[in-house]
Structure 1
C-alpha cells in the first residue's frame, strides 16, 4: 500500500491505467467473468460500488471507505455491508493480481481520527499479546523494542508507527492487515 496526501481528484490522474471510462468498464467486465465466483455477495456489492466511485478518472477512486459504505447502506435501505467485508473484498482483489492497486490517504499528524484510533490500539495489542500467552517483556524483546515503549503502547500513551505495527503483528503471528482490520472492527 502506498500513502497519498489528500487533494483534488485531478492530482491522481496519473494513477489511471485506462484511456476512457469505456475501456475501464470493458476491463472490469472481462475481469469479473473470471473472478466473480471468488467474491461473496456482500463483497460483490462493495466491489460494484467501488467501481462506480472510480468513474471520474477511470479506475481511480478517491473515496473514503466510510463514504462508500454509506452509499451502499443508502442504496440497500440500511442493509449495507460491514467495513471488514469491504476490506476482505479489497484483499481478495489484490491477491487475484487484479487491476486494482490500493493506496491509502496519509492522515495528518494529530488528526482527530488518529487520536481516536489511539485509544483502541493499546487495548487490542494487549488482548492479542495475552491471547498468545506472551509477556510484554518477551514481545518487546522479539520486536527489538523497549519494554517501557511497549507498555506506553498498551496504555495508549504512545502510538506505534505503521512499521512498528507490521513488526508487532509479525511477532504475534498475524498479518498487519489482520491487526488493522481488528483495530477498525473494535472502533465500530
Structure 2
C-alpha cells in the first residue's frame, strides 16, 4: 500500500474513533478542513510536522499514522 494511502486510512480510523469530524480535527490542528480531507484521501503528502499536529488531538504518537493496522482492523 502506498504510504499516503496508509496515512490517510489511519488518520480517518483514529479520527472516527475519537469522535471528531474532519472540521473539528482541522480546527484543533490549525489546518484547513480540505487539507485534512486531502490527507485522508491520500492526495496530500503531509510533512512529519503536520503528522505530529494531526496526531496530537487524537491522543496518539505521530508514528502510529505510519503503521499498518492490525489484520482485524483492516477494511475488506
Per the alignment, residue 117 of structure 1 pairs with: 3
Residues in 1 aligned to 2:2 and 2:40: alpha-carbon distance in whole angstroms: 15
2:65 pairs with 1:170: no
Q: Normalising by the residue count of structure 2, what TM-score does the alignment of the two structures yield?
A: 0.81
Per-residue CA deviations over 1:1-41 (Å, capped at 9, x if unaligned) read xxxxxxxxxxxxxxxxxxxxxxxxxxxxxxxxxxxxxxxxx
Per the alignment, residue 43 of structure 2 pairs with: 157
Residues in 1 aligned to 2:67 and 2:61: alpha-carbon distance in whole angstroms: 14
Asked which structure has the greater CA Rg, the reply is 1
Q: Which runs of 5+ in 2 are unaligned?
A: 72-76
Residues in 2 aligned to 1:150 and 1:122: alpha-carbon distance in whole angstroms: 9
Q: CA deviation at 1:147?
A: 0.6
| Shift >2 Å, 4+ stretches | 183-186
Residues in 2 aligned to 1:148 and 1:130: alpha-carbon distance in whole angstroms: 17
Q: Greater relative contact order: 1 or 2 (C-alpha under 8 angstroms, separation 6 or more)?
A: 2
Per the alignment, residue 23 of structure 2 pairs with: 137
Per the alignment, residue 184 of structure 1 pairs with: 67
Residues in 1 aligned to 2:6 and 2:68: alpha-carbon distance in whole angstroms: 10
Q: Which runs of 5+ in 1 are unaligned?
A: 1-114
Q: CA deviation at 1:116?
A: 1.8
Equivalences, count? 70
